[in-house]
Structure 1
Amino acid sequence: MKIKLFFLSFSICFLISKAQNIPMYVGTYTDGFSEGIYKFDFNLKTGGLSNLQLAIATENPSFIAYAPNKKYLYAVSESLGGTVSSFKIQENGLLKFLNKVSSNGTGPCHISLNKQGNKAVVSNYRGGSAAVYNISRDGKLNDASQVFEYNTTDKVSHAHSAQFFKDELYIADLGMNTVYHYKLKNNNYELTTTSIFKTTENPGPRHFALTRNGQFIYIINELSGSITSVKKTDSGFEQIDFDSTLEDTYEGKNACADIHLSKNELYLYGSNRGENSIAVFKRNKFDGTIEKIQTMPVHGDWPRNFTLDPSGKFLLVANQKSQNITIFSIDASTGTLTFLHDVKAPRPVCLLF
């Protein structure tokens, strides 16, 4: 009887432990230290990362994204020519290659999917273009259905990120200092606004975060170390705030990278490469303005990308140059961060839950 109870207790503990762990994929640069996309087990209770595995060998998967059903994973490849690939997620969490298509521009640096999982959009940094793809039911990418070219005779585009929102599409262009706005009409995206904010400066919009209702957009500017806050109105868009991500005393070089809202949308986080920090902002949920409340060192070098875990209790940072991932707990009442620990990872540049 005691033996049966022991095995029953052991089985229950094993199942609880397994249920607490979820996969986290890591996109990397494969320049001698890395081989492709990696997978960790993430513990939702402790914030621990363990069991590092190579999910699939592939060249320079610098940005990765899930299908909404999490049966497929997509990655851009900053290889010569520029490509984007689709993978099937197997039962063991490793990836199986499905197909590869052209990114329609050099230096693809970002990919995202719509909520239906039938469209993807890729941003080509060096090529100055963005491409929209239809996705088949088997997860494979079709050739691009639309390609937007942004270079002009007197300006060089650096399309850096894009996101769908319902029947809309936003594309941030660091080179042109703008965020384009498109609407879906007759299955094609048509440009409705050449810029959702106005500037005569050179902020370099890179990534952005949208509230769930789509009313507010927060754009992190790589070159100026700042966040531009924009409100969507009945007549278009209105800039409502502009805030530095840096400490007043910081005087070195800096390049902002990533930005995310907390799960409850009360806090906003942005990464600084140079100051090597996460800037934490408290967000006014009514008027959308933000106020900086913390600068947290990332305990690493060059935080290119970061993410919040599905529970909203932890924030994880991919430090490209120091080759480590740092884990922070998030205070539920204040949104502030506390450093917990870090793990080594080969050239991490994108984290995906």
Structure 2
Amino acid sequence: MNIKLLTLGLAMSFLNSQAQNIPLYIGTYTEGTSEGIYKLEFNPSTGELSNLQLAEAIQNPSFITYSPNKRYLYAVSESLGGSVSSFKIQENGQLQFLNKVDSNGKGPCHISLNRQGNKAVVSNYGGGSASIYSIARDGKLNEASQIFDYNTMDRKSHAHSAQFFRDELFVADLGMNALYQYKLKNDNYELALPEIVKMEGNPGPRHFAMTKTGQFIYIINEYGSSVTSVKKTDTGFEQIDYDSTLDESYEGKNSCADIHLSKNELYLYGSNRGENSIVVYKRNKLDGTIEKIQTMSVHGDWPRNFTLDPTGKFLLVANQRSHNITVFRIDAPTGKLTFLTEVKVPSPVCLLF
């Protein structure tokens, strides 16, 4: 009887551990052994990753995102003839292809949706453009309704990321050294500011993180290895801080990649490719300024995208060149990182919970 109870207890424990796992989708580059979008199971209690599976074969899905209800997944295909695809997420976690549309520019590298889930914006790095799409109720993408071409006779654009915020749209252009602001009018986005703040030198704004209220924006600069902190004012925007992402002792080459705020917005994280680190800042919630408190090795090579898990207790890094995803525990009182574990995945560049 005791043996039966013990066996039942172990079985229940195993089932509970399996039930609490949540899916992590991984976008990759497919020039090597990768075949497309992969899926792992993540244990939010322990930080463990397991059960690697190919979710969908697709060329160079370098950035992926969910619909707000998480019923659909959207992926760019970063290639010369760029495209954007929509998928329905099945009960087993596999992806059912719905449709594909033109990205209207070479090298699409980022996609995001608005809160309603009825519009998407794609940034085309190679083409120097951003495209707006409406999304049908069945999750399919319509052809682009607006295309913004940022190239000029004198300079090549590299649009790298974009985010909706209420009736606004912000686009980071690494090539033109600007963060654009658009406002929605009559179901179209119109340019409100060609640059929200003047970017001195050529830092190369790549990605950005916004506070929930939209009052503060933190821009990570690929060329400048820096973070530009911006505050929204009654008349526009103003720069309030500019901080290096690198440790003072580091002297090699570096290219910044991604940036995220902690759940409580007390800490800010950024990724360094070259130094191969995650920089941690403590954030002043009153005035928005930041202070560097940690430089943590990613235990890999070329950290591109990273993400925080839904609990806010773990940070996961996609290391493109070392073909691994590393997991770090976040210390709640300090925001600092401790390395936990890693798992091998071919050329990971985007992580999606």
Q: State whether TM-score is above 0.5.
A: yes
Code of the residue aligned with 1:78 in structure 2: it is E
| CA positional deviation for 1:180 | 0.2
Distance 2:218 2:199 in 1: 15
Partner of 1:349: 349
SS in 2 for 1:160: strand
| CA positional deviation for 1:295 | 0.3
| CA positional deviation for 1:211 | 0.3
Code of the residue aligned with 2:162 in structure 1: it is A
| CA positional deviation for 1:81 | 1.0
Query: RMSD over aligned Cα, in angstroms?
Result: 1.2
Q: Normalising to structure 1: TM-score of the pair?
A: 0.98
Distance 1:16 1:333 in 2: 29
| CA positional deviation for 1:5 | 4.8
Partner of 2:261: 261
| CA positional deviation for 1:197 | 1.2
| CA positional deviation for 1:202 | 0.2
SS in 1 for 2:265: coil
Code of the residue aligned with 2:163 in structure 1: it is Q
Matches within 5 A, 1:1-353: 5=5, 9-10=9-10, 12-353=12-353
| CA positional deviation for 1:341 | 1.1
Deviations 1:59-94 (A, max 9, x none): 000000001111100000012310000011111001
Code of the residue aligned with 2:308 in structure 1: it is L
Code of the residue aligned with 1:252 in structure 2: it is G
Distance 1:116 1:348 in 2: 29
Distance 2:168 2:304 in 1: 27
SS in 1 for 2:41: strand
Deviations 1:266-311 (A, max 9, x none): 0000000000000000000000000000000101000011000000
Code of the residue aligned with 2:130 in structure 1: it is A
Deviations 1:319-350 (A, max 9, x none): 00000011000000000000111110010000
Distance 1:152 1:29 in 2: 29
SS in 2 for 1:9: helix
Q: 13-22 vs 227-236, which deviates more?
A: 13-22
| CA positional deviation for 1:196 | 1.0
Distance 2:210 2:114 in 1: 13
Distance 1:201 1:134 in 2: 36
| CA positional deviation for 1:12 | 3.4
Distance 2:275 2:8 in 1: 51
Distance 2:95 2:151 in 1: 35
Code of the residue aligned with 2:340 in structure 1: it is L
| CA positional deviation for 1:4 | 7.4
Distance 1:92 1:294 in 2: 39
| CA positional deviation for 1:250 | 1.1
| CA positional deviation for 1:9 | 3.4
Code of the residue aligned with 1:321 in structure 2: it is R
Q: 10-19 vs 151-160, which deviates more?
A: 10-19
Quickly say closer, same or farther: Cα 1:20–1:192, change in 2 above 3 A.
Answer: same
SS in 1 for 2:144: strand
Query: How many pairs does the alignment contain?
Result: 353
Distance 1:3 1:99 in 2: 53
